[in-house]
Amino acid sequence: MDVMNAPPLTADAALRVPVALAGREYTIHVGTGLLDRLSDWVAPLRPTSIVVVTDPTVALLYLDRTVHSLSSVARTERFVLAASEEGKNLSAAAQVIDALVAARADRRSVLVALGGGVLGDIAGFAAAIFMRGIRFVQVPTTLLAQVDSSVGGKTGVNHSAGKNLIGAFHQPSVVVADTDLLRTLPPREVSAGLAEILKHGLLADADYFSLVEALLPRLVECDVAALTPVVAQSCAIKAAVVARDERESGDRALLNLGHTFGHAIEALAGYGQWLHGEAVGCGLCLAADLSRRLALIDAADQTRIEDAVAAARLPTRIQGFTRAAAIDAMRGDKKAQAGQIRFILLERIGRATQRVVPAEIVEATLAAGGYA
């Protein structure tokens, strides 16, 4: 679907991005003013009851409006979870399950996850395991959650041994991404979401990358009119990749462009130091450097990518680590297979590929990136 050339949105229109998973198709609705119309998409699910799970920040901003819209559909209970990346663990998921029990939820209840990726991952995982799986609706409130974590059905929590080590595939019944909600997002979180948006263009669609590049000055300012079609197009790209490979046996790995380096940065710096999107922004620059060293892209493409990352107000370099530590961290990554480090590289802007890369070339990229 070509959402960029869609006619201008009317006040109550939403862009519809279909997610084509055999037997479990669902739609991502993207637009402004959608939160107050949530009942339009939840009513058809005919839930016996609804439990809205959110975090304290989002609760203050948007919980009343959410509950107000949903109360017309079914008895609606609320649960505010003190969600954070540090607290994204089994005990957080257990708290959501306790809340479902307290709300007397049954197999036909619907859980609504209202929040960023942390909240969505925890609540989605609780929905996946409560009574062997109840339906859930994603209402993502960060840019990263709207373009990335709410699409694709991965849910889960961290273990002290690694990020997202515990999880389940559980697709939402519907996703409602109201871009008006992004207006209250801190600028740093907007930039973090832009890292995944740049990634989508780089790995799948050169025209989209050019468009995002041109819109970046408006996107960093959280201009909702510019963000809305971009969110929809990014969802469409991720949805297409996921529809081809729901469980990551092949192409879905391409979504990890910039992430092998990014995960290493997050692990070395300690979680909480850099936002995920910031580590990915830097990871995209390292992946571009590695792709250029392998003569896949040229120096002009590499510069173009670095300029876009900088224009998104993301770090292009994150230093202070050694090459040996970075390589160790990448070998330990959940996605490394049998000690080999597979990288997602760019064949050109708009097309990614997977390769195992010799260690000395990875070292050269890390050295150029300022790693001791």
Ligand X SMILES: NC(=O)c1ccc[n+]([C@@H]2O[C@H](COP(=O)([O-])OP(=O)(O)OC[C@H]3O[C@@H](n4cnc5c(N)ncnc54)[C@H](O)[C@@H]3O)[C@@H](O)[C@H]2O)c1
Contacting positions for ligand X (CB under 6 A): 55, 57-58, 61, 85, 88, 115-119, 121, 141-142, 144-145, 148-149, 152, 154, 164, 181, 184-185, 189, 192, 276
Residue given tokens 């663990």 in the structure block: 89
Residue given tokens 């173009």 in the structure block: 304
> Between residues 85 and 251, which has the closer beta carbon with respect to ligand X?
85
Q: How far is the CB of 144 from ligand X (least distance, A)?
A: 4
Q: What CA–CA distance (Å, rounded) separates 173 from 17?
A: 13
> Between residues 60 and 206, which has the closer beta carbon with respect to ligand X?
60
Based on DSSP, count helices (H) and strands (E) in the chain, helices before strands.
Answer: 14, 11
> Between residues 153 and 369, which has the closer beta carbon with respect to ligand X?
153
> Between residues 142 and 302, which has the closer beta carbon with respect to ligand X?
142
Q: How far is the CB of 55 from ligand X (least distance, A)?
A: 5
Q: Left if phi > 0, otherwise alpha if psi is -120 to 50, otherwise beta: which for 16?
A: beta
| Residues in Cβ contact with 267 at an 8 Å cutoff, skipping those fewer than 6 apart | 163, 329, 332
> Between residues 117 and 369, which has the closer beta carbon with respect to ligand X?
117
Q: How far is the CB of 44 from ligand X (least distance, A)?
A: 24
Q: How far is the CB of 301 from ligand X (least distance, A)?
A: 25
> Cα(first)–Cα(last) distance of the chain, in Å?
46
Q: How far is the CB of 112 from ligand X (least distance, A)?
A: 14
> Between residues 61 and 94, which has the closer beta carbon with respect to ligand X?
61
Q: How far is the CB of 361 from ligand X (least distance, A)?
A: 28
Q: What's the CA angle centered on 293, arms 345 and 205, to 5 degrees?
A: 35
The packing angle between helices 90-102 and 117-129, to 10°, is 60
Q: What CA–CA distance (Å, rounded) separates 281 from 193?
A: 10
Q: How far is the CB of 328 from ligand X (least distance, A)?
A: 21
| DSSP single-letter state for residue 53 | E
> Between residues 32 and 142, which has the closer beta carbon with respect to ligand X?
142
Q: What CA–CA distance (Å, rounded) separates 92 from 110?
A: 19
CB 95 within 8 A of CB 81: yes
